[in-house]
Structures are given as structure tokens and as C-alpha cells.
Structure 1
């Protein structure tokens, strides 16, 4: 676990950044929060689904990394009864070591659709949480959801997915895609036209987990296997609706933004790009984000089991708060504008609890129509 300790964990005093400290107490109440109907789309007593996607036909896809202790397929499409079916097929979801790492899922961390309806599967390709990247394991698997066929596999070589990297999530803007690295801090810029990739913003504090911000859930600091307070570097990210900005943060926050035109400029000096990064928002620890078609920014406030929204006017409002929404990770919208919320309970898996799982089964994926008014 040497790499894990060096790159993921920062031994620090138990200090919580004052700007959000009061929000870091999980009250599990609906005070000042709209009561809305949470519909259970699927549930499982084996898998830890931390990501969800919904295609144009309304079919739901779920995934989770194996280091959580989950069983079953890494990536599934839910059938009509909500049961998971290996996607795109059983071979991709096999744990058969004779299959090359570039041709099977190792530790899938994210799902996201592009504007062509293709499903992009982000595989960190690591031996385990905080572990080493397996050669050929870190990759992007692109699947056509209509045919279920793999369109392409983009393997991230050792200059992009470094030893200790944990390629975390992906967002798109025109001819470029952006990925976060939660292990070795930085952002990866992928040119979708020519396939070239670059690591950027490695030496800016914006991609590094602050030393003085803890992840506190249910009144407890989330701790890594060695007992130190967990630190997760550049993790959630989102592009603005007009494509002008990339918003990004360490899991603990705060959030920053940078113009995508600068990220896309391969000739721009690293120091100039770093100097262009701007502070955006001081948000509490965020599990995952989603942007609706109107440009409203949704995020899961991990400390309070709450889905919140930053409206296009800039106001932050609580949409729904419920103990069942514990560690909502990577949400997604369906074509009808309903948001899907995978309550992954990541902090309760055995890895963060001395080897004993505290997960409250079954885990559930919820759906919420955010366009409907409060039922109160």
C-alpha cells in the first residue's frame, strides 16, 4: 500500500475547513427541503453501484468498482424487472486473468454518455483502491447502446495513467473530453479527433485534496485502510451548458473552473494554464454531479444525504434530503429530465471500516422527477 499512502492520503490533524464545517454534520432531516417522491428503480444485495446512465430508450446502466467488495457484473444493463444483465457481455465482465486487461473490466468507476448516445465506461484499471495500475487496465471502453457492440477501446498508457493514478470520471465538450485523476492529481485532456491525450494542471492546488478538509459522514471522519483521514484528489467534474467552462474539484472541495478553450490548447504553457484557474464555489464534499439541459448544476451533498441544485441564476437550493440517499455518487438524467441517484454507501464498505462492511443492504438506485413541485 506504499503508493496509496504517498498519493492518496495526507496525514493531517483533525481540522475541518471553517467555510463548510457546519454543513459537515449529517442530520438526516428534511428541514427546509422540498419533499419529493423518490422512486426505487432497482436494488441489489450484492453490488455496489456507484454510477448510472440512461439511454434515449430509457434503458438503465449501472456499474461499480470491484474494490468495494461487490459481486456480479462490473457493468450491467437493467432488464424490464430491474435485474442486472452483464453489459456489453459476459466476457467484458469476466475475472478470468487469461483475458488481457485491455479486454475486460478491472475496476470500473464511471459511466457517461456522449452526445451521440454512446456509453463511455471509465475503467481505472487498478489492482485495488490506492493500488497500482495494471498494464492495459486503465482504459475507456466505448459501447454503442443500440447494438451493444464495443465501438472502441482507448487504453491509457503509463504517461497518462501513472503508477498510483485513479482515473475517475469523464465529461465532454465538442471535440474534447476531460477526465479527472483522483490518485495522481491532475486532469486528462483527450482530443476526440486524433486520439491524443495530455495531462494538465498537475502542479496546481486546484487538483489536490486540501490537507485541512475531512470527509465527515454520519458524524465520523471517513478513514482509509491505514487509519488516516481519507484524501481524494481531482474527482467530480462538469462542463458548463455552453461548453465554455470546466468545473472540477477534489472530493472534499472547494471547486474551481477553467476555460475549456485553454484546456484544449496544447501549445499553452503549463504555468499559463495553471494561472488561468479560478475559484468557483466552496461546496462541501460532493459524491457526484449532473447538468440538466437548462444548465442547472446538481450535486450530492454527502454530509447531509441531500441532492442540491445550483440554478442558472447561481442560487443553491436543496431538492431532496433523505437518509436513503447515503453517498449518492454519479447521478444521471434520462430523456424525460428525471434524475437517477445511485446511493452507493461507499463510506460503509469494508475497506473503510477495518475490513467489516457496514453497508445497509439492499443498495438502491432512485429516480426523482425534479420538475415536479414539492408535495408539501
Structure 2
């Protein structure tokens, strides 16, 4: 009857709307997000957690302990494949070989102010393991030629048993690194090559068990009933170079004057007293700061990218289910933010040996000018 056909028609429209609504919430970004977010490359062989842009090239990297077979450091080809960089030999380390001229396990890439590419090698083949002799190091490379310009060795007094040298930022003749394993900052004199550990096991560099990493409604666990705790991890230098901002992966962030970090005569007590709270930010995969002091960071729990402007105002840029453990981002000169999607919490190490990875791994860019 007409009445029943109207009911069926309305029901079909309602069901279609309901299904489409579910798809838009759980699978697809909104139209504005679709314009903002772009997949730049994919990989099934490299669980990339780092990206850097230099001299017109895109570089990616992933740590050895994930178990994937891609190169430790790669360059995107015109076909969006990943080729070993700077060459095959640097990426061909095997246990027992000399580690000084090979990548052991790379955790970070960063483009220095002079345009050179820096590779942070933790030197630890296994997650939470001990750095192999000569393995923990920084490698400065010409991104255009692949020529290795300088090696900075991080010896056993700097990269210690239990260390996980995590990321790097630059400020004049100094670089700062985080040790996410044995909570500390590392201050490197770029001219002399001397490195010092500071704020070791300080409250500002230690993960707080009360702030666990929650993803997909579960606490990420290193072992059964043992939450994964990552000590000081993200860091940024203020645009004027006067402050270093830093914190555990789980937050919160603190700040300390770089003038005190750079001076080896400053006592540990005086340096610790100068550390002040900066921002109560959530667990994040990584961050990037622009020339205006705006901090972009990936919110792990929400599969989102946020910004914190220089006044302290925090706002969401984009949320998308594909941004799952969106890791350390890199700002491009055209206003796009490149982000490697690592899915680290889905690795077997965090699920009693069962992989929950959903291939492929994505390399995404987001247009910050039109978000």
C-alpha cells in the first residue's frame, strides 16, 4: 500500500544516512579534511617513524627493533619507492660488524638550519637494549650528494646502558637531544663534538606512571599489566633560541634557558632550579615548531594533529583514523606538515607477540594554510 511504501522509502533513506554517517565517522575524513590531508607515499617494508625534507628530497627512517626489512634511512624516489640513503653499505649492518660506519637503529631524522641532514642512531638493535660499541652516534650528511660530512660518536658515558637517544634540535653551536630510555637531556657542542648529560632523572625528564599512553581505548603496555613509559622524548627550541621546551612522551612539558644548558660550568643544582613548567600536553607521537613559535603535535589518543600557538592557545587541526601513532612531523617550506604514520602501538612487542599492524604504512602531509 502507498502508506507502507512511504514507510519503506523513509526507512531506506534513514538506513542509508545512518550507514553513510557511520562511514564518515569511522573510516573517512570530512570533505575539508580530505582537501587538507594527502597520502604522499606508502610502504609495507619500512615502519617509518621519522621524516625530513632537505634540498628538494624527502627522507624517511625507521628503527630496527620494529622487525621490518626496509632500509634504516631511505630517500623517496620519483616513483615514491624507498631507496637506501646515503648508500646500501650504510644500511647493511649486521650484528658483530663495526657499527661506526653503519646505521644500527635509527630513531630520528632532522634537517639542521644549514640544510644538512642529521641522522640519530640509537645504537640499540633491540627495544630497550644496550647500545653496541660505536653504535650510538649522530651522522651529518649532505642531502644532495649523500656525502657523510661528520660523525659525532655518543660514547658509553653519554649513551649508557638503558639509553634510547631519541631526537635532536639545534641552537647555534649546540644541539640538544633527549634520552627516552635513561631520562636525561644531552647537550652537544657541534664544534668540539663533546656531549654532556644534564637533568638526569630529573622530574621534568621522567615519565609519570599516572599519565599512561591510551590508544584504541587501551593502555599501551610494554609487558602484561606494565604500561609503556617513555621518558623525555619530544623537544623544541624557541624561535629566538632562548628556551628549550621538552617533556616525556606522556607529557607535561617543561622549559629551561638554553644559556644555562650551553654553559658546562652551571651546576646540576642551578640547572635543575631553572626548569619551569611550560605546557600540560597529552601523550604525543612527535612535534614541530614553526618560526612564529606555534607548536604542532600529534595527539596519540585521538588520532589527531593539534597546534599550540605562542600565546598558549591549543586547537585541533585535523582528526582522522589514519593518523594512528602519527609520529615525528616535519615542516615543509610550502606550508605542509609531513607526518610518518608508525602504528607503533600495534607492534607485536606490545601485544604479547601478536601483530595488529594494518598495512601499508602511510606517509601523510597536511596543508596547514587551509586546515
Q: Return the TM-score normalized by structure 2.
A: 0.90
Partner of 2:14: none
Point out the more displaced range, 217-226 or 81-90. Answer: 217-226
Are the counterparts in 2 of residues 244 and 260 from structure 1 also a CA contact under 8 Å? yes
Question: Which is bigger in relative contact order (C-alpha 8 A, separation at least 6)?
Answer: 1
Partner of 2:9: none
Count residues with an aligned counterpart.
346
Partner of 1:333: 331
Point out the more displaced range, 248-257 or 286-295. Answer: 286-295
Partner of 1:136: 134
Aligned-pair CA distance for 1:97: 4.0
Aligned-pair CA distance for 1:161: 0.3
Structure 1, residues 132-184: CA drift from partner, whole Å, max 9, x if none? 11110101011101111111111100110011100000000111000000111
Q: C-alpha separation between the residues in 1 aligned to 2:303 and 2:162?
A: 30
Q: C-alpha separation between the residues in 2 aligned to 1:32 and 1:366?
A: 16
Q: Secondary structure at the match of 1:273?
A: helix
Larger Rg: 2
Structure 1, residues 75-97: CA drift from partner, whole Å, max 9, x if none? 00000111000000000100334
Provide structure 1 residue ranges, at least 5 long, that are not aligned to the other structure: 1-26
Cα gap change, 1:244/1:123 in structure 2, threshold over 3 Å: closer, same or farther? same
Q: C-alpha separation between the residues in 1 aligned to 2:366 and 2:80?
A: 16
1:47 aligns with 2:73: no
Are the counterparts in 2 of residues 30 and 321 from structure 1 also a CA contact under 8 Å? no
Q: C-alpha separation between the residues in 2 aligned to 1:356 and 1:371?
A: 40
Aligned-pair CA distance for 1:269: 0.5
Cα gap change, 1:34/1:175 in structure 2, threshold over 3 Å: closer, same or farther? farther
Are the counterparts in 2 of residues 34 and 320 from structure 1 also a CA contact under 8 Å? no
Query: After superposition, where does 1:216-365 map in structure 2 within 5 Å?
Result: 216-225=214-223, 227-365=225-363
Partner of 2:7: none
Provide structure 2 residue ranges, at least 5 long, that are not aligned to the other structure: 1-24
Point out the more displaced range, 349-358 or 107-116. Answer: 349-358
* Match among 143, 164, 167 for residue 166 of structure 1: 164
Q: C-alpha separation between the residues in 1 aligned to 2:159 and 2:276?
A: 25
Q: Secondary structure at the match of 1:102?
A: coil
Structure 1, residues 89-117: CA drift from partner, whole Å, max 9, x if none? 00010033464111111110000011111
Q: C-alpha separation between the residues in 2 aligned to 1:234 and 1:32?
A: 34
Cα gap change, 1:321/1:141 in structure 2, threshold over 3 Å: closer, same or farther? same
Partner of 1:12: none
Q: Secondary structure at the match of 1:92?
A: helix
Partner of 1:16: none
Q: C-alpha separation between the residues in 2 aligned to 1:203 and 1:313?
A: 30
Point out the more displaced range, 129-138 or 92-101. Answer: 92-101
Structure 1, residues 266-317: CA drift from partner, whole Å, max 9, x if none? 1000011001000011111011000123321100000001100011232111
Q: Secondary structure at the match of 1:205?
A: coil
Report runs of 4+ in structure 1 exceeding 6 Å deviation: 27-34
Aligned-pair CA distance for 1:265: 1.0
Are the counterparts in 2 of residues 142 and 153 from structure 1 also a CA contact under 8 Å? yes
Q: Secondary structure at the match of 2:227?
A: coil
Are the counterparts in 2 of residues 308 and 316 from structure 1 also a CA contact under 8 Å? yes
Cα gap change, 1:320/1:71 in structure 2, threshold over 3 Å: closer, same or farther? same
Q: Secondary structure at the match of 2:158?
A: coil
Q: Secondary structure at the match of 2:364?
A: strand
Are the counterparts in 1 of residues 244 and 257 from structure 2 also a CA contact under 8 Å? yes
Are the counterparts in 2 of residues 295 and 311 from structure 1 also a CA contact under 8 Å? yes
